[in-house]
Amino acid sequence: MPKGSEAARFDASRCHDSPWQVHNPSVRTKLTQFQHDYYETNGFAVILGLLEPDELEEWRATVDEAVSQRLSKAGAPLQNQSDPDSYYAQIFTQCLRLADSHEGLRKLIYDPALAEIAGSLAKVDGIRVWHDQALYKPPFGNPTAWHLDNPYWSFDSDRAISLWIALDDATRDNGCLYYLPGTHRSAGLGNVALGTNQGDLFRHYPDWLELEPVACPCNAGDAVLHHGLVAHAAGANMTNKPRRAMTCAYMPDGSTFNGKQNVLPQEYFESLSIGDPLDNEEINPLLWSLHA
């Protein structure tokens, strides 16, 4: 069981016996005990080689197409490019819930194998999709400030989890992810909007200033999973090429409604009362269940 600062270091050793590496694509839903223990302790875990080269090509082509479609529709909701010159629009091109409108992407995102990976790492009985999102950091794009994910969303859980798949190599130069290990265990409701100050989150959590951030550089086709309450960020893109990533945020079946609208359609939002369980099969389908 990895412990303390030793556990926190992410060492992307790509040797054949690396505990982060997928060895056999047909059993990639079974992560190593090391990955499970590391996630429990630190709130994030890496899967090297999640996508095979031909799968990576399919993901790239499908996500690129879905993003172009979304951006080509004037005034389309669930994207952040209405003012492309704003600081926020230059952190990343963010397109949410692409699986709703792009069938090819829906097939990729609704893959029960991915949900099983998320559900087994999170140690829950059932996993529902919260939202997918493409996050393309543009050339010379702004950094992604330190933040937590779950406090943005409409349902609360201490076991929400996100899957972040690198479609390009993500490096310290172009905006790889960074984590503050173990913060999922001390996080509260305090959070920040993604703004121009990288460190605003630490106003809520001054004790976290003592923690050493862990960088997670990874290759295209690798994936990182993180707990909905672990503090994370991404660096600026100092290169002249985009850093593309496709993500899916998952919530445990039965997570509880907290009154925030976030990405919920108006009618469904208005029908909910605080404390209601996440159980809407149409909007947040159950993608994997331990007992299925």
- Contacts with ligand AKG, residue ranges (CB under 6 A): 92, 135, 137, 144, 149, 162, 164, 175, 232, 234, 245, 247
Shortest Cβ distance from residue 236 to ligand AKG (Å)? Answer: 10
CB nearer to ligand AKG: give 228 or 272. 228
The rounded radius of gyration (Å) of the Cα atoms in the chain is 18
What does each C-alpha distance from 97 to 17, 133, 191, 216, 223 come to in angstroms? Answer: 36, 6, 22, 25, 19
CB nearer to ligand AKG: give 116 or 149. 149
Find the DSSP H helices in the chain: 4-8, 33-42, 53-72, 103-109, 112-122, 201-204, 266-271
CB nearer to Fe ion: give 149 or 168. 149
**DSSP β-bridge partners for residue 247:** 133, 164
Task: Please choose which of Fe ion, ligand AKG, none residue 92 contacts, taking the beta carbon within 5 to 8 angstroms, the exact cut-off set by kind.
Answer: ligand AKG
CB nearer to ligand AKG: give 22 or 229. 229
Task: Please choose which of ligand AKG, Fe ion, none residue 144 contacts, taking the beta carbon within 5 to 8 angstroms, the exact cut-off set by kind.
Answer: ligand AKG
CB nearer to ligand AKG: give 149 or 272. 149
CA nearest to 102, candidates 51, 132, 66, 52 = 66
Binder to Fe ion among 40, 132, 149, 156 (CB under 5 A)?
149
Q: Are 215 and 178 in contact (CB under 8 A)?
A: yes
Shortest Cβ distance from residue 135 to Fe ion (Å)? Answer: 9
Task: Please choose which of Fe ion, ligand AKG, none residue 135 contacts, taking the beta carbon within 5 to 8 angstroms, the exact cut-off set by kind.
Answer: ligand AKG
E strand map for the chain? 44-47, 93-96, 126-137, 144-147, 155-156, 161-166, 177-179, 214-216, 223-227, 232-234, 243-252, 256-257, 286-289
Q: Are 76 and 84 in contact (CB under 8 A)?
A: no
What gap in Å lies between CA 204 and CA 212, rounded to an integer? 17
The residue number whose beta carbon is nearest to ligand AKG equals 234
Q: How many binding residues for Fe ion (CB under 5 A)?
A: 1
Shortest Cβ distance from residue 273 to ligand AKG (Å)? Answer: 28
CB nearer to ligand AKG: give 84 or 275. 84
What does the per-residue mask of binding to Fe ion show for 94-133, with x meaning CB under 5 A? ----------------------------------------
CB nearer to ligand AKG: give 124 or 216. 216
Task: Please choose which of Fe ion, ligand AKG, none residue 253 contacts, taking the beta carbon within 5 to 8 angstroms, the exact cut-off set by kind.
Answer: none
**DSSP β-bridge partners for residue 178:** 215, 233
Task: Please choose which of ligand AKG, Fe ion, none residue 127 contacts, taking the beta carbon within 5 to 8 angstroms, the exact cut-off set by kind.
Answer: none
- Exposed e or buried b per residue across 226-258, where buried means at least 16 C-beta atoms within 10 angstroms of its C-beta: bbbbbbbbbbbbebeebbbbbbbbbbbbebebb
Task: Please choose which of ligand AKG, Fe ion, none residue 164 contacts, taking the beta carbon within 5 to 8 angstroms, the exact cut-off set by kind.
Answer: ligand AKG
Contact residues for Fe ion, defined by CB under 5 A: 149
